[in-house]
């Protein structure tokens, strides 16, 4: 029989020994919360700025750290340079299951859609046609780069593409300038920087979801970019993977509880991307797979469900 949500939450680890609450710097608590987000202007950067402002309203000092996003954020939480931050689910899963990093989840946030972007007039119709072509996988240290490399491996190209690692803005410029023929991006739909462009098209990726799930588990899902996004006249089936709000496992329970509570209390003001989970629903938020919920976050969810 499937376990009930109430039973699931009740089975989560109990709260650890009480640690200093807030950001006073006593015990293991930071003097200010160091929130690792993403590149300025990107979805994690914008969402992080809004979350930081909400936490400051709760009396928590916050320092926002601009990063390459997922992989760098997880590394910074592990080595003590950051206290919380955003990550794609596949990067977080890898951090916990493979690298055994001391990170925990506060919430599953919203679904990201893998975009494989080409010029509208280009004849590329499948990921297999990227063989030998110049492709940007995303900036080094980003979750997009991790996902893109796995997509290419799953596709079994006859020969490797010519890989470059550029951020979203640089990838757009390179595609426009003819220096690359395609690029990957993982984000909500529509991603503003792409929605403002003319002459682009998405390549379907859905056929690779079963291959990715066999290799890496349910962090990859079937997803569909709706018709009308980026000028498309019909939906584009692709790969989806959620975003998580993560923290270092040693973050004090009371602080983790406050961050999680603030996240949901301020959900209307945070303006998460328009995607499954974007309304920040608690039922969606607890589904973090092998990535454990922080005890402070679990305490918040138990309070919600009674």
Q: What share of the chain has pLDDT > 90, as a percent?
A: 75
pLDDT in tens, 161-201: 999 999 999 999 999 999 999 999 998 888 888 988 999 99
Task: Give kind and range of the element (H or E) at residue 20.
Answer: none
Query: For the segment 229-277, what is each residue's pLDDT rounded down to a tens digit?
Result: 998 899 999 999 999 999 999 999 999 999 999 999 998 898 877 555 4
What tens digit of pLDDT does each residue of 117-150 get? 999 999 999 999 999 999 999 999 999 999 999 9
159 pLDDT exceeds 60?
yes
Whether pLDDT at 89 is above 90: yes
* Angle, helices 89-97/209-216, rounded to nearest 10 degrees: 20
Q: What is the pLDDT of residue 196?
A: 87
The pLDDT score that the predictor gives to residue 179 is 98
| pLDDT value of residue 4 | 46
Q: How far apart are CA 171 and CA 299, in angstroms?
A: 42
**C-alpha neighbours within 13 Å on the C-beta side of residue 169:** 6
Out of 18-22, 86-90, 204-208, 284-288, which region has the weakest mean confidence (pLDDT)?
Answer: 18-22
Helix segments in 166-252, DSSP class H = 168-176, 192-195, 209-216
- Between CA 301 and CA 281 the distance in angstroms is 11
pLDDT of res. 11 = 46
Confidence of residue 30 (pLDDT cuts 50, 70, 90): low
The single-letter DSSP state of residue 70 is H
Overall pTM surpassing 0.85 (yes/no): yes
**DSSP reduced 3-state for 298:** helix
Q: What is the pLDDT of residue 180?
A: 98
Residue entry with tokens 């931050």: 85
The distance from CA 256 to its chain's CA centroid, rounded to whole angstroms, is: 19
Q: What is the pLDDT of residue 17?
A: 30
Asked if the model's pLDDT at residue 7 lies above 90, the reply is: no
pLDDT of residue 20: 35
Its sign, for the CA torsion 68, 69, 72, 77, is: positive
Q: Is the pLDDT of residue 203 over 90?
A: yes
Question: Tell me, what's the pLDDT at 274?
Answer: 56
Contact 79, 36 (CB under 8 A): no
Q: How far apart are CA 110 and CA 88, in angstroms?
A: 10
For the stretch 36-64, pLDDT in tens is 999 877 889 989 999 999 999 999 999 99
């Amino acid at each position: 029989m499937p376990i009930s949500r109430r039973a699931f939450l009740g089975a989560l680890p109990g709260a650890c020994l009480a640690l200093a609450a807030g950001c006073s710097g006593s015990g293991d608590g930071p003097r200010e919360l160091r929130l690792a987000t993403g590149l300025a202007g990107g979805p994690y950067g914008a969402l992080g700025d809004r979350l930081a402002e909400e936490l400051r309203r709760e009396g928590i000092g916050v320092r926002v750290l601009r990063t390459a996003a997922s992989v760098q954020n997880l590394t910074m939480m592990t080595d003590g340079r950051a206290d919380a931050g955003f990550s794609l689910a596949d990067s977080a899963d890898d951090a916990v299951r493979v690298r055994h990093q001391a990170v925990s989840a506060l919430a599953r946030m919203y679904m990201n859609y893998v975009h494989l972007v080409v010029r509208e007039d280009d004849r590329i119709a499948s990921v297999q046609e990227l063989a030998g072509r110049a492709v940007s996988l995303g900036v080094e240290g980003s979750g997009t780069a991790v996902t893109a490399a796995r997509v290419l491996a799953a596709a079994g190209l006859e020969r490797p593409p010519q890989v470059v690692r550029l951020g979203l803005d640089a990838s757009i410029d390179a595609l426009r300038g003819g220096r690359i023929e395609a690029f990957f991006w993982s984000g909500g739909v529509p991603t503003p920087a792409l929605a403002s462009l003319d002459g682009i098209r998405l390549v379907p990726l859905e056929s690779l979801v079963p291959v990715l799930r066999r290799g890496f588990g349910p962090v990859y899902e079937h997803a569909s970019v709706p018709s009308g996004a980026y000028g498309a006249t019909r939906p584009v089936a692709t790969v989806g993977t959620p975003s998580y709000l993560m923290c270092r496992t040693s973050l004090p329970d009371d602080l983790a509880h406050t961050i999680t509570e603030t996240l949901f209390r301020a959900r209307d003001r945070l303006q998460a991307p328009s995607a499954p989970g974007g309304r920040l629903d608690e039922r969606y938020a607890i589904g973090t797979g092998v990535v454990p919920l922080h005890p402070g976050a679990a305490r918040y969810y138990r309070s919600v469900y009674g």
